[in-house]
Amino acid sequence: MGIKHEQKTAVSPGKPGSEVYPDSPLGKIEDGIATGRDVNWQPLVDYRRNGVSETTIHGAVAWAHGNEIIHSFGGNVLCYGRSMMKPLMMKTFAESLDSETTWEQKAISVSSHNGDTEHVASAQSLLLKSEWGLMQTPLDTPLVQFGRQVRRPRRWYHTCSGEHAAILKGCKLKGWNRAGYTLPGHEVFQHYLKNLKLVLGDSWEPLRIGKDGCGLPTVSNTVNELSILFSYLVREKDSDWIWDSMIKNPDLIGGFNRLDSTIIKSCNGKVVAKEGADGLLGLSINHEDYPNGLGVVIKIAHGWNPQATWYVARAILGVLGFQLRNPYPLDRQKAFVVPGIVPNSKLEILKQIPTWDEWDPNTDRWLYDWKRHIKKGVFSDLGLLGEEE
């Protein structure tokens, strides 16, 4: 017996679409494809009010030095890399776009931007105005709240418009047909898979390929694989313009108060960071203790949570000697990170990094001894407590 819908639709049994449509709200188990409920997620951050945890954020973290996993916490989760993989996606066009683009255009090609004026202008500048109609990003409004309220949807506001414009320009320079550039059979995606195989090995094959929110194909990777790929970005940082473009124009990568842009600016050219839906942050870290490149990937179990990811990233970068400011303070809640987000060798350093800035302690306490008053029953006349002993 299959799932029951209120009305007959195009996904009803025997109709087009029925083969890929879920037939049970409980889902099904497929060999080699762990669902979120099967994964050994671990707590990464918990928010406490006066010592009691009110919210716990689960996820997974992986550290890779070169092609070796040196630390893994929360399970080797299978997920889609999505926009976090743009620096690797653009490797396909690194040579073609090198002399044909400005540093701003290079940066916007690997961005997931807020849709601010400078983001739209940089993305549009990659194409002739007569070519704008080739863009296949969905209609969207800027990520910033004010923009979402006052702007009408446009393709250029989409967070991936820079990548799409760069792909179209790169296809033109390579002589590839720009029609169908978002399809998995196009040269764009086929060369992207080749780039991944250069790092993960010829025998590697994606277990699943999905359609990203912008329409491009996205590949499933484990968190361990993703950290290895971000380690590769460090080793290859001088082979093309991708690393330098992100360092030179951090505000084009995300935008105002975005975590990846803030990390890049805080780490003085030593760290490239890239956010990705849903709940991903990749860090490529140039550190003297890791000559083969250090790649760290954070995956939040429930999806995009910049504040929780910020706490984890600040702790990880902190044990490596980088300073990232705390996110905006929580109101009476305080954030505590879990030791497992870093290797055991870094635990003593982790203990010295607070996840809060100083605050007025009077906001967290009453200015009288409430325990003594309750014990003596001073509220008994209100009928709230028993008589005074």
Is 242 a domain residue? yes
As given in the structure block, the two tokens for residue 177 are 């047909």
- Reported as type and span, the H/E element at residue 154 is none
> What is the residue-wise DSSP string for 209-243?
EEE-TTSSEEEEEEHHHHHHHHHHHHHTTTTSSHH
Is 22 a domain residue? no
Is 134 a domain residue? yes
Is 18 a domain residue? no
Is 15 a domain residue? no
Judged against a pLDDT cut of 50, whether residue 388 lies above it is answered with no
**Positive/negative CA dihedral, 144, 148, 149, 151:** positive
Is 163 a domain residue? yes
207: Cβ contacts below 8 Å, ≥ 6 apart: 32, 33, 78, 220
Q: CA 156 → CA 125, 185, 214, 317, 350, distances in Å?
A: 11, 25, 12, 33, 41
58: Cβ contacts below 8 Å, ≥ 6 apart: 41, 42, 43, 44, 74, 300, 301, 302
Q: What is the mean pLDDT of residues 276-298?
A: 97
Is 383 a domain residue? no
- Least confident interval from 109-118, 146-155, 162-171: 146-155
As given in the structure block, the two tokens for residue 371 are 């325990």
Q: Which residues of 64-100 are buried (b: 16+ CB within 10 A; e: fewer)?
A: bbbbebbbbbbbbbbbbbbbbbbbbbbbbbbebbeee
| CATH assignment of the domain containing 62 | 3.40.710
Report the distance separating Cα 56 and Cα 69, nearest Å.
26
Can you say how many angstroms the Cα of residue 346 is from the centroid of all Cα atoms in its chain?
24
Q: Which DSSP letter does residue 189 get? A: H
Q: What is the pTM of this model?
A: 0.92
Average pLDDT score over the chain: 91
pLDDT digits (tens, 9 = 90+) for 176-216: 999 999 999 999 999 999 999 999 999 999 999 999 999 99
Provide the 10 A C-beta neighbour count for residue 336. 15
Q: What is the mean pLDDT of residues 222-240?
A: 97
Is 20 a domain residue? no
Question: What domain range is 189 assigned to?
Answer: 57-350
Domain tally, the chain: 1
Report the distance separating Cα 331 and Cα 354, nearest Å.
16
> What is the residue-wise DSSP string for 248-312?
H-HHHHS-TT-HHHHHHHHTTTSEEEEEETTTEEEEEEEETTEEEEEEEEEEETTS--HHHHHHH
pLDDT digits (tens, 9 = 90+) for 114-132: 999 999 999 999 999 999 9
Q: Give the length of the chain.
A: 389
